[in-house]
Amino acid sequence: MKTRHYLAAALLALLPLPALAQAPGAANTSAIVMFVVFILATFGITGWAAKRTRTASDFYTAGGGISGFQNGLAIAGDYLSAASFLGIAGMVYVQGYYGIIYAIGFLFGWPVVMFLIAERLRNLGRYNFADVTAYRLDQVKMRVLAASASLLVIALYLIAQVVGAGKLIVLLFGIDYKIAVVLVGAMMMIYVGFGGMTATTWVQIIKAVLMMIGATIMVLLVLYMFRFNPDAILAEAVKVHPAGETILASTQAISANPINALSLALGLALGTAGLPHILMRFFTVPNANEARKSVVWASVFIGYFYLLVFVIGFGAVALLVRHPEFFNVGADGSFNIIKDLIGGQNMVAVHLANAVGGSLLLGFMAAVAFATIVAVVAGLALAGAHAIAHDLYANVIARGRDSEKQQLVISRVATVGLGILAILLGIVFEHQNVAFMVGLAFAVAASANFPVLLLSVSWRGCTTRGAVIGGATGLLAATAWVVLSSTVWVDVFHFAAPITPFPNPAIISVPLAFIAIWFFSVTDRSAAAQREKDAFDALEVRSQTGIGISAASDH
């Protein structure tokens, strides 16, 4: 990568910001300055990483040289997305305690990863979880399935991040939403296309540290406003919220549709172990011990942050009502704190930062929120590019006849394609709550990826036929359910009523996937199935001990 080309690309991406900042309704000076400082810093990291990204291993896994602590921070940076900061805070603001169920579900997935996935994943694969599922099963079929499921999950996840980033830039700079989305997509292409996993990792680490610092400052200021009395915050929130005391009752939304609530919980609990951009992070560490450390540190950072989001959400309810400037006020001076919030519910945390810390904290948190989204989008794009270049091109189309240089070229082309896809999806799904969209991505991951990954490494009887049919069943069931639900069928396609009774598919699609894998595996009497079962012993030894990992093949 020629330095002058890189600098030209960086400058082209930066040029619109100062001009856009002068548009009517633009943000304060501190927000503009912090945005520019962040962009310059991350481009500097990308330039540094580009010089060190020469091989496929460098591009996809940062050469496996990230420590457990660093990777834990990077995972937190990847995992604490727009849904966590903007979406969950907005859900708590609108629905009260029910919004915390999302945070609990997101956090609960980590023990599943810790005890069932992390060590085996690191010992068996090279670049992503498709390497693991294809270890003893049919290479072509498993990689096509894994890539298809991964790309759908990535698409759903991208929607949430790009919508959050677009709304944030609109709120701060007063520019058109579509232009904002294009800027996000362009930055994602630069980070991933030039810096690969090394740049993405360090952007995620820096962003995680800044996010936890910023959220901690916000919470301390909120508590200071109420003399460090959490009960006073909740009492004031109940007093001013249109729903009154029901915002403290977790049963309100659950009782309205208990099956949907259970389906949501199941998808969130199992979905983490099927997210391709999260699973990919376990290949950036040198061994299984560091992979386990990654999960422990990630759980600590993520758990701490979700405690902060709880206070941010209820603090926003209690405090924003004192600031009419954050609402579209009627002619009589009245406003609804839910319906009339400028920028919508996804901007609650940003408005609260302005309310408790003024323009300086607003600028800092806006830059951090933007960093959050761009870092997650970069991780998603990297996982998507890898699914296309490594799984589909290298192992399905070229069948191992390609070079690492060709893979890197395909990866960068795929990154551009995913950037364009992110822009289009962000425009189509502009008005969706970002936490809800991520919940759907988790449901698809739990239905299509997790059952195949778990059973392929832990059950001798799993065969290619069972894994392919079961994974495809989970994928198609989850996708069809989401499309026919109110989320897409009504909100996007504008039909009068949804066909499926609730939007979260996991309670239907996850059991279907497990049952299909079991049934079509036990009924498979082919010679290939017997060979796959015989190969389980070697897989078991390597997955538990790591013996043979240094001599890993292209699996």
What pLDDT was estimated at residue 125?
A: 67
Q: ∠ CA(302), CA(303), CA(309), 5° rounding?
A: 85
8 or 304: which leads in pLDDT: 304
Q: pTM for this structure?
A: 0.81
Q: Residue 3: phi, psi to the nearest 5?
A: -60, -40
Count CB atoms within 10 A of the CB of residue 237: 25
What pLDDT was estimated at residue 552?
A: 44
Kindly report, residue by residue over 178-194, the tens digit of the pLDDT. 888 888 788 777 777 77
What pLDDT was estimated at residue 72?
A: 92
314-320 average pLDDT score:
94
Cα–Cα distance, 487 to 136 (Å, whole number): 38
Of 13-27, 99-113, 119-133, 384-398, the range with the lowest mean pLDDT is: 13-27
330-342 average pLDDT score:
86
What pLDDT was estimated at residue 160?
A: 76
32 or 243: which leads in pLDDT: 243
Rounded to the nearest 10°, the torsion over CA 544, 550, 553, 555 is: 40
310-337 average pLDDT score:
90
Residue 550 banded pLDDT, cuts 50, 70, 90: low
Of 20-24, 100-104, 254-258, 445-449, the range with the lowest mean pLDDT is: 20-24
What pLDDT was estimated at residue 254?
A: 63
What pLDDT was estimated at residue 294?
A: 92
State the fold for domain 63-551: Sodium/glucose cotransporter (1.20.1730)
Q: Would you state the structure tokens that stand for residue 477, as one six-digit string?
A: 């069931």
Altogether, the residues listed in the chain come to a count of 555
What pLDDT was estimated at residue 296?
A: 92
Residue 525 banded pLDDT, cuts 50, 70, 90: very high
Q: Are the C-beta atoms of 61 and 284 separated by less than 8 Å?
A: yes
Closest CA to 131 of 118, 141, 121: 121
497-508 average pLDDT score:
90
What pLDDT was estimated at residue 3?
A: 40
448-458 average pLDDT score:
93
Q: Has residue 551 got a pLDDT over 70? A: no
Of 110-124, 300-314, 353-367, 426-440, the range with the lowest mean pLDDT is: 426-440
Of 11-15, 369-373, 473-477, 548-552, the range with the lowest mean pLDDT is: 11-15
What pLDDT was estimated at residue 255?
A: 62
CA distances in angstroms from 491 to 120, 167, 483, listed in the order given:
41, 18, 10
- The DSSP-derived string for 134-176 is TSSS-HHHHHHHHHHHHHHHHHHHHHHHHHHHHHHHHHHH---
**Chain CA centroid to CA 191, Å:** 16
Contacts 24+ apart (CB under 8 A), 256-264: 257/501, 257/502, 259/501, 259/502, 259/507, 260/502, 260/503, 260/504, 261/101, 262/507, 263/443, 263/502, 263/504, 263/505, 263/506, 263/507, 263/508, 264/101, 264/102, 264/105, 264/439, 264/443, 264/504, 264/506
Q: Has residue 507 got a pLDDT over 90? A: yes
Q: Has residue 5 got a pLDDT over 50? A: no
Where b means 16+ CB within 10 Å and e means fewer, 24-43 reads eeebbebbbebbeebbeebb
Q: Are the C-beta atoms of 434 and 161 separated by less than 8 Å?
A: yes
Residues 6+ apart with CB under 8 A from 242: 336, 337, 338
Cα–Cα distance, 242 to 260 (Å, whole number): 24
Q: Has residue 229 got a pLDDT over 90? A: yes
CA distances in angstroms from 258 to 251, 253, 435, listed in the order given:
9, 8, 19
288 or 81: which leads in pLDDT: 288
Q: Residue 87: phi, psi to the nearest 5?
A: -70, -50
Contacts 24+ apart (CB under 8 A), 430-433: 430/163, 430/166, 430/167, 430/177, 431/344, 431/491, 432/159, 432/160, 432/163, 432/487, 432/491, 433/87, 433/90, 433/91, 433/345, 433/346
DSSP bridge pairs for 327 = 341
Q: Has residue 540 got a pLDDT over 80? A: yes
Q: Has residue 162 got a pLDDT over 50? A: yes
Kindly report, residue by residue over 42-60, the tens digit of the pLDDT. 778 878 877 777 777 777 7
488 or 226: which leads in pLDDT: 226
Q: Has residue 25 got a pLDDT over 50? A: no
267-285 average pLDDT score:
87
Residue matched to tokens 């079962």: 533
What pLDDT was estimated at residue 553?
A: 41
Rounded to the nearest integer, the mean pLDDT of the chain is: 82
Can you give the three-state secondary structure of 335-387, one letter per residue?
Answer: CCCCCCECCCHHHHHHHHHHHHHHHHHHHHHHHHHHHHHHHHHHHHHHHHHHH
228-255 average pLDDT score:
82
Q: Are the C-beta atoms of 430 and 512 separated by less than 8 Å?
A: no
Residue 1 banded pLDDT, cuts 50, 70, 90: very low
The sign of the torsion formed by the CA atoms of 264, 270, 276, 282 equals: positive
Q: Has residue 124 got a pLDDT over 60? A: yes
276-281 average pLDDT score:
86
What pLDDT was estimated at residue 252?
A: 56
Cα–Cα distance, 378 to 385 (Å, whole number): 10
Cα–Cα distance, 45 to 374 (Å, whole number): 14
Closest CA to 151 of 421, 508, 468: 421
Residue matched to tokens 């698809």: 444
Position 220, amino acid:
L
Residue 363 banded pLDDT, cuts 50, 70, 90: confident
Domain boundaries of the chain, sorted by first residue = 63-551
Q: Are the C-beta atoms of 37 and 367 separated by less than 8 Å?
A: yes
Q: ∠ CA(53), CA(54), CA(55), 5° rounding?
A: 105
